[in-house]
Amino acid sequence: MTDYTRRPGRLRVLAAMSGGVDSAVAAARAAEAGHDVTGVHLALSANPQSFRTGARGCCTLEDSRDARRAADVIGIPFYVWDLAERFREDVVADFVAEYQAGRTPNPCLRCNEKIKFAALLDRALALGFDAVCTGHYATVTSGPDGRRELHRAADQAKDQSYVLGVLDDRQLAHAMFPLGDSRNTKAEIRAEAERRGLAVARKPDSHDICFIADGDTRGFLAGQLGTAEGDILDEDGRKVGTHEGTHGFTIGQRRGLRIGHPAPDGRPRYVLDISPVNNTVTVGPAEALDVTALTAIRPRWCGAAPTGPGRYTAQLRAHGGETPVTAEADDGELRVRFDQPVRGVAPGQAIVLYDGTRVVGSATISATSRQPTTA
């Protein structure tokens, strides 16, 4: 299997250019390495003005123009591909449905899986390209068995392997991440963009969810799902407040609960459970959020699926730390036991397993529990 990270000769590379500095520098590095690079910007909204503007998005008309200008400076062909319908179905509709079911999804993982390394890659391969290049901070190498492996970025402070943990063997075989093996700081990446004459050198990074124009997730979901007043309950089932829809809450949430009076002990309360069926939200103390085990579904392996129980580290959030676990995959499920309790784990989130720096795979959390830990 070809190891594109070693750049063996001239390849036809499709560079996904979001309009930001990272993807622009990645495309420039791929071209400088001697590859035949074509830039493409993904139009992900039928009405781009409804997505964020300025620095806070990655799917706007402004971003498309910034990407085109960067491609012109690099000297590569550039196209805009309309994937708005696919994005609406696979990312936006999935996001809404997950919240409606009381789960907390990660739309960036879904976009990487369904759009950037499924719809985009499929079209790229059909057109004769060898690899898709993005500005993600991660590395891809060939393992001892010749299979492609996904690893953390050389600079773990910028590592984005968590949101790439959904990539399978086939997708990794055609992935190129020119920034992943670099220990350049973000300031140095911007300085490189400046030297290359890229106008995006000083463009701020995008943040949050690109398809929520004003950043108000609760308002967006209310617009999609409507409002339905329900009860906020304490652990003993006593009503302590009301809400306008369970979709406005996530496990571990503290702010925005709008509970009229404090807990008897005066301590803050957190969302412990969300029940769309009963239209209730349960709140309680922070220690009630402790999770010692979980079950996850729809596992996706970055290589061979593990056999038998194994020792790994797990990451539960894009910017979270690692925690030691014992995990076992069986019959389409992943069962995980934590060495020490962790907090704020919500169904719908992704858990990504690591063996050292190597990404083993990911799965979607379906249930959590508190079980006695073993020494």
Confirm if 289 and 273 have CB atoms less than 8 A apart: no
Q: Which helix (H) or strand (E) holds 364?
A: strand 358-369
Alpha-carbon torsion (306, 311, 312, 317), positive or negative:
positive
| Alpha helices (H) along the chain | 21-32, 61-74, 84-87, 93-100, 107-111, 120-126, 169-172, 186-195, 217-225
* Cα separation, 58 vs 336, whole angstroms: 34
Which residues carry out catalysis? Answer: 111, 210
Q: What number of residues does the chain have?
A: 375
Confirm if 11 and 4 have CB atoms less than 8 A apart: yes
How far apart, in Å, are the Cα atoms of 351 and each of 8, 27, 50, 70, 264? 34, 30, 31, 35, 35
* Cα separation, 39 vs 29, whole angstroms: 12
Confirm if 169 and 140 have CB atoms less than 8 A apart: no
* Cα separation, 157 vs 141, whole angstroms: 20
Q: Residue 155, Cβ neighbours under 10 Å: how many?
A: 16
Inter-helix orientation angle 93-100/217-225, to 10° = 90
Cβ partners under 8 Å of residue 187, min gap 6: none
Beta bridge partner(s), residue 338: 325
- Token duo for residue 286: 């922070």
Q: Are strands 230-233 and 280-284 parallel, antiparallel or unpaired?
A: parallel
How far apart, in Å, are the Cα atoms of 373 and each of 291, 339, 340? 10, 7, 7
Question: What DSSP designation does 356 have?
Answer: T
- Token duo for residue 140: 């891809």
